[in-house]
Amino acid sequence: MKQEIESFLRFLEVEKGFSPNTLSAYRNDLAQMAEFMEEELLKGKEAPAWSRVGREHLQRYILEMRERDYSEATRARKIAAARSFFRFRAEEGKGKENPAEAISSPRVGRALPRTISIAEVRRLLEEVAQGQGPEARRDQAMLELLYASGMRVSELVSLDLEDVDTQEGYVRCLGKGSRERVIPIHPKACGIVEEYVKEARPKLLPLPGDKALFLNQRGQRLTRQGFWQILRGHAQKAGLGKVTPHMLRHSFATHMLSGGADLRSVQELLGHRHISTTQVYTHLTMEQVHRVYDKSHPRAK
């Protein structure tokens, strides 16, 4: 059970860019849940395994937290960690059902996604464009494509050569739950990706028959962790501090909405199953509207 928790934590670190403190909190919360589930399963004379954990086990876990007088914020955090963990297992094909799907949690304030501004994105992309050599061209193609499409980093590194059509201007990717979607990409990003494929990728010495779009120094498919390290290095050189792959995804969504895109279109581009997931970005754009209003309206000064 601990091994699956560590796999989930690596996912949070690499793809979500969670801080060490946040990862530590997740580790503690999930370790506590694992200990409780092991005891519960052993009571029923079942071998401890996440696949045997059901909704009734989670309900008893939540009840115990209430009996131990945990605050609403603490219970909400621990339930959120459990839901994220079981959702990850389901998306990885490790469970037929998600026992936490229907579990509710205390309502506390929802954190808004972290983004960077359009000017900061430009600084990042301009910094990447200054590099020389095949790896620099690969980095530029990856970042341009990620910001042009709003893809998850796992979707980006999973792309094969045939998934990007630079002539028609689209990328085809496989998202969560094996849901496929086609995303348009603007001409500038298409040109940069095409240049990488024709001129830089062959110099990375791909293995015979390897269809991976983005390669590492050994000619193998680039990993999520490898991309995260590349992005971190370029962000630091651009003077932006910590920038995660998911922050670029959030920035893409926010900038699209600020530019006039409708919510349903952004939902389709991001591959969100529910519109409520996409609606969080409207809070960010409304903050911008309020700032403009407060600055411009004569009665607001």
Does 246 participate in catalysis according to the annotation?
Answer: yes
Q: Give the HSE-up count for residue 16: Cα atoms under 13 Å, Cβ half-sphere.
A: 15
Task: Say how many C-beta atoms besides its own lie within 10 A of residue 50's C-beta.
Answer: 18
Does 68 participate in catalysis according to the annotation?
Answer: no
Catalytic option among 89, 249, 250, 255 = 249
Supply 139's token pair. Answer: 């980095």
Yes or no: say if 250 and 158 are a contact pair by the CB < 8 Å rule.
Answer: no
Supply 207's token pair. Answer: 């293995």
Three-state DSSP state, 44: coil
Yes or no: say if 160 and 212 are a contact pair by the CB < 8 Å rule.
Answer: yes
Task: Say how many C-beta atoms besides its own lie within 10 A of residue 244's C-beta.
Answer: 21
Does 176 participate in catalysis according to the annotation?
Answer: yes
Supply 106's token pair. Answer: 């205390």
Does 186 participate in catalysis according to the annotation?
Answer: no
- Distance of alpha carbon 281 from alpha carbon 289, whole angstroms: 13
Catalytic option among 123, 176, 181, 237 = 176
Yes or no: say if 167 and 270 are a contact pair by the CB < 8 Å rule.
Answer: no
**Tokens 């086609």 belong to residue:** 182
Query: Could you tell me the strand order of the sheet in which 164-165 lies?
Result: 164-165, 170-174, 180-184
Does 250 participate in catalysis according to the annotation?
Answer: no
Supply 45's token pair. Answer: 């004379």
Catalytic option among 27, 57, 172, 246 = 246
Catalytic option among 152, 221, 234, 250 = 152
Q: Which residues pair with 182 in a beta bridge?
A: 172
Quick one: the chain helix, strand, coil %, rounded to 5?
Answer: 65, 5, 30
> Which are the catalytic amino acids?
152, 176, 246, 249, 272, 281
